[in-house]
């Protein structure tokens, strides 16, 4: 886990701003999966009924390589600036 500051003074690219201002920093979170996606519908259809688990469940843990992806949001204009943290 990488320490992420709550606020960060960074450049704002919007037309109104074009200067360094204070941004609120949050970590990217995965959005909710859609139930209407084709793969999910196919998987649910395949899983229904008798026969148990039809696809392999991934037990291997992933390793973080790219660093933490963070977004900075400027409060008044709601502009988002993307940043990477913890890269080597």
What residue spans define the domains of the chain?
1-29+68-87
According to DSSP, the residues that pair with 26 across neighbouring strands are 71
Assigned token pair, 24: 């609120």
pLDDT tens digit sequence for 42-88: 999 999 999 999 999 999 887 766 677 778 887 776 777 777 665 55
Residue among 43, 65, 68, 40 at smallest CA distance from 54: 43
**Rounded average pLDDT over 9-33:** 85
């Amino acid at each position: 886990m990488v320490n992420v500051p709550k606020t960060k003074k960074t450049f704002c690219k919007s037309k109104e701003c074009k200067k360094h201002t204070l941004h609120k920093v949050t970590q990217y979170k995965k959005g909710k999966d859609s139930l209407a996606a084709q793969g999910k519908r196919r998987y649910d259809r395949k899983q229904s009924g008798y026969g148990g688990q039809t696809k392999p469940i991934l037990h291997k843990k992933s390793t973080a390589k790219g660093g933490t992806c963070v977004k900075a949001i400027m409060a008044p204009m709601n502009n988002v600036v993307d940043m990477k943290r913890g890269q080597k």
